[in-house]
Structure 1
Amino acid sequence: MTTPATTPAPAPARPGVPGVRAVHHVAFTVPDLDEAVAFFTGVLGAETAYRTGPVADPDPHGDWMRRQLGVHPRSTAHIAMLRLGPTLNLELFEYSGPDRRRRMPGNSDWGGHHLALWTDDFDASVRRLTAVPGVRMLGEPQQVNEGPIRGTRWVYLATPWGLHLELVHAPDGLPYEQHTAVRLFRPAAPPEEAPA
């Protein structure tokens, strides 16, 4: 007598969008693309992958820019894609168009945002950035003294055109790690330099 073969039960589906595994890039619209590229490459050490533009609808009465990018149909864009550190592709847009707002949203506004940068040397990073003309620190550096990220140091800064940056450094073994297997990304420690 043979026993009928059984088909293993399929693994439960993971929530999320099929095939999506990672963030590809983060994008910001800036008032002056040349200024922003110079800041990210010259101050923060990013590398330019490419620049392109103008991106615009070739039909003077077309609606491609509104349909594809959600902007005024007569808008044009110039774009730069940068690589910042080991994991971040950073896309910068400079738009021209008749209805664009010329003011950065506040952090509490819908669409408010900031770019947080990990630093291995918090104090040296603060000194370097605050020495750059036009960069200003918002308040003073802070250390979290309780809660899930106890020991983390942070400070907000504003670029010359108003984009908010945050510098972050956290010790190994944050308290939240005792309660979950989820780990936030942090870059590997840099290799030790050989003595001179």
Structure 2
Amino acid sequence: MRRFVRAIILLGMMTWGNVAHAETGIGREVYQFDQSHTNIMWFANHIGYSQSMGQFMDFDGEIILDHDQPEQSSVRVTINTASIMTGLPKFDAHLKSADFFDVEKHPTATFVSKEVTLLGDSKAKVKGEFTLLGHTKPLVLTVRLNKRGMDIQRNIHRTGFSVITTVKRSLWGMKSYLPFVGDEVKIKIEAEALIKQ
């Protein structure tokens, strides 16, 4: 449990201080996402036939883990909405249009944490505000710490976690093709973060 307190709030969810502090459990750690080992994926029902899926390729953020006061830990994530990718160029172009992400008017989506609650079993709930298409609404992430340890190649701490949540897109003003394209969109994040030097 102590290991979890040190790191899951690592996302608070989705960059925490000093390696010496990390080893003693004192103070704060600041992490940044390792984009080459992080995937932000979404899944949406397509008329009941299948789950369409895609991911965002460009994002940035900061995870602050406070060992002494876990409730003060936090996360901030900014996603470049134009980086959405399904592997189908025509579908990508449609998703970037005003029907969905309207990337010209709204080039980013953001999540900023407000509260972290430990659940046990290496899990936490991270409450925050998600901004999309100019609308800001509450969103809760369920976060699981997978591993925290020393990256022997870089000689700095690395932490990995899994995140799930569900977004009801109509609440953020994305109402095109309802109800044929599902309103509830599942978000799954597999992420790794490196301690900021």
> Which bin holds the TM-score, normalised by the shorter protein?
under 0.3
TM-score normalised by length of structure 1: 0.23
Task: Tell me the TM-score normalized by structure 2.
Answer: 0.23
Larger Rg: 1
- Say which structure is richer in strand: 2
Bigger relative contact order, structure 1 or 2 (CA pairs below 8 A, ≥6 apart): 2
